[in-house]
């Protein structure tokens, strides 16, 4: 949900803490396209062509609005209210999970003790929360959150850079240009 649409009781309160994970724009598009097609097949609709998904994405025709505005809303709040909004990038999380888990624990007010670190609690949590582990849970293979829609549609591969397997070089260049333009002067890169 875009930050601007959060209820005032959440958006401007000191109590709730918001964790926002953003992702590289190209991988975001590829992931959304795969998800949309899994969802469409569950409700017996024709698959969405990549070219159509790309055009919609570039024109900001998405259920959550323009992805760039979506991310920027949380980015700006994370800079203005870092005690309430924590933003990190999916790619960085995968590259250094322990570092980001420790930062997240501090953000929510429950930092790891030195004893927990020595006992390997951080690594245990990383393993429990890994894409591999979560995607293989029975509830995520056979369970359903909505009638007729399997939880498995929420999982693909979770890889960074997978968009290169689907998008043309022209599509990737266009997304890079749009992203650079939309995030200009914000201090954020995707």
CATH homologous superfamily for 3-182? P-loop containing nucleotide triphosphate hydrolases (3.40.50.300)
Confidence of residue 146 (pLDDT cuts 50, 70, 90): confident
- Dist CA 98 CA 73 (whole Å): 26
Q: Residues near 38 by Cβ (< 8 Å), separated by ≥ 6?
A: 153
Kind and range of the H or E element at 72? helix 67-80
- Mean pLDDT value of segment 52-57: 94
Taking the model in full, what pTM does it have?
A: 0.88
* Residue predicted with more confidence, 6 or 144: 6
- Dist CA 80 CA 90 (whole Å): 21
């Amino acid at each position: 949900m875009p930050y601007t649409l959060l209820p005032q009781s959440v958006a401007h309160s000191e109590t709730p803490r918001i964790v926002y994970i953003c992702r590289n724009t190209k991988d975001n598009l590829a992931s959304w396209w795969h998800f949309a097609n899994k969802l469409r097949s569950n409700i017996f609709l024709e698959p969405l062509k990549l070219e159509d998904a790309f055009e919609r994405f570039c024109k900001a025709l998405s259920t959550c609005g323009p992805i760039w505005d979506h991310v920027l809303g949380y980015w700006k709040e994370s800079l203005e209210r870092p005690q309430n909004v924590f933003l990190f990038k999916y790619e960085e999380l995968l590259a250094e999970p322990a570092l980001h888990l420790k930062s997240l624990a501090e953000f929510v007010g429950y930092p790891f003790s030195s004893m927990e670190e020595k006992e390997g609690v951080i690594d245990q949590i990383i393993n429990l929360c890994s894409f591999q582990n979560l995607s293989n849970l029975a509830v995520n293979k056979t369970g359903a959150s909505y009638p007729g829609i399997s939880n498995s549609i929420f999982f693909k591969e979770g890889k960074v850079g997978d968009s290169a397997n689907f998008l043309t070089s022209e599509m990737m260049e266009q997304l890079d240009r749009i992203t650079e333009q939309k995030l200009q002067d914000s201090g954020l890169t995707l």
